Amino acid sequence: MASSGIPESPDMMVRFMRSGEIFTPSAPINNQALFAGRVNQLNRIIGAVSQRGQHAILFGERGVGKTSLANVLLKILRGSQEQFKSVIVNCDSEDRFEQLWCKIFLELENTQNLDFEQHQVNPEFIRLRLQRQIVGSAIIIVDEMDRLKTDAYFTAFMADTIKTLSDHSANVTLILVGVANSVEELIAEHLSIERALIQIQMPRMSPDELTEILRKGLDLLSMTMDREVIQSIVFLAQGLPNYVHLLALYASQSAIRTNSSSINVNHLTQAITVRSLILEEKKELSLTRLEI
């Protein structure tokens, strides 16, 4: 039976597509049922949200699961009793302090127009406007801070914003997310905000956490995976969940093509071969482009 190419039956096609919704190497998790591990980090970040005047910084390597944690945090809190406003914004390299807050307020106020030009956008302005806008409480997640071209002015303004929000006990939690050095910069020179800012490091995932990703996904797909395949994927991933998703996606799709609901080592080998071929093709394509 075919182990590569398009699945042969409609039923196989449905399962094939479903595996792509469950194993998502290119997209953060947005569904609590698929979220594995990270109990300690979740507890700490929930602790920060529950304490007025506390804000958090979430930092770690790319692909380690920061955005997924932020998404799932909001889902968990939504399930709890209190209603709150939430905003997630992604930073761009062009953003400066003013543009970043402009994005945040556009979302928060659900508007197309802000009157920012008429004001001096500084930390006090941000605090007053947040306090005016937010009736209950709010969580503002600033993701991909590492994309910003930060300078002394930006870090000083961000630090002062955290400080004034904290000093005035505003009912807002800021969660800053980025790779390590981008957030270190923010704290290093601004010790005054250290108490207001809980630092949460996202290390690579443990083998148990990576195995949990596989188990959750396989359960939802009603598939099984041989023990040696699980061990190989966990070993190959080296603590990075995106690789677990990648290998599980290709291996499960390889099994589905052969109409099997049990993933064995041949499916994994096939997955790695297909993946290498795609990478080779991409390399060749970019070489051809370069040659042109």
Ligand X SMILES: Nc1ncnc2c1ncn2[C@@H]1O[C@H](COP(=O)(O)OP(=O)(O)O)[C@@H](O)[C@H]1O
Query: How many Å apart are CA 99 and CA 147, to the nearest integer?
Result: 14
* Residue 245 binds ligand X, judged by CB under 6 A: yes
State which residue has the least CB distance to ligand X.
65
* Residue 63 binds ligand X, judged by CB under 6 A: yes
* DSSP track, 188-254: HT-GGGGGGEEEEE--PPPHHHHHHHHHHHHHHHT-EE-HHHHHHHHHHHTT-HHHHHHHHHHHHHH
* Residue 28 binds ligand X, judged by CB under 6 A: yes
Of 7, 19, 22, 36, the residue at the interface with ligand X (CB under 6 A) is 36
For residue 145, give the DSSP letter: G
- Show the tokens assigned to 156: 């000083």
Of 33, 43, 62, 188, the residue at the interface with ligand X (CB under 6 A) is 62
- The window from 56-64, 193-201, 225-233, 280-288 that contacts ligand X (CB under 6 A) reads 56-64
Which helix (H) or strand (E) is 88 found in, with range?
Answer: strand 85-90
Q: Taking the CA atoms of the chain, what radius of gyration do you get in angstroms?
A: 22
| Shortest distance in whole angstroms from residue 153 CB to ligand X | 26
Query: How many Å apart are CA 192 and CA 197, to the nearest integer?
Result: 10
Residues 125, 133: contact at Cβ < 8 Å?
A: no
Q: 243 to 272, contacts with Mg ion by CB under 5 A?
A: none
* Residue 38 binds ligand X, judged by CB under 6 A: yes
Of 19, 41, 54, 68, the residue at the interface with ligand X (CB under 6 A) is 68
Give CA angle at 124 (120, 130), nearest 5°. 100
Alpha carbon 85 to chain centroid distance? Answer: 19
Q: Which of 58, 77, 42, 50 is nearest to 142 (CA)?
A: 58
* Residue 219 binds ligand X, judged by CB under 6 A: no
| Shortest distance in whole angstroms from residue 105 CB to ligand X | 24
Of 213, 214, 255, 256, the residue at the interface with ligand X (CB under 6 A) is 213
Q: Which residue has the tokens 């080296």?
A: 238
- The window from 63-71, 82-90, 128-136, 257-265 that contacts ligand X (CB under 6 A) reads 63-71
* Residue 67 binds ligand X, judged by CB under 6 A: yes
Q: 41 to 100, contacts with Mg ion by CB under 5 A?
A: 67
Query: How many Å apart are CA 197 and CA 291, to the nearest integer?
Result: 50
Instruction: Give Dmax over CA atoms of the chain in angstroms.
Output: 68
* Residue 25 binds ligand X, judged by CB under 6 A: yes
* Residue 182 binds Mg ion, judged by CB under 5 A: no
- The window from 151-159, 161-169, 237-245, 261-269 that contacts ligand X (CB under 6 A) reads 237-245
Of 7, 65, 123, 178, the residue at the interface with ligand X (CB under 6 A) is 65
* Residue 239 binds ligand X, judged by CB under 6 A: no
Residues in touch with Mg ion (CB under 5 A): 67
Residues in touch with ligand X (CB under 6 A): 24-25, 27-29, 34-38, 62-68, 213, 241-242, 245
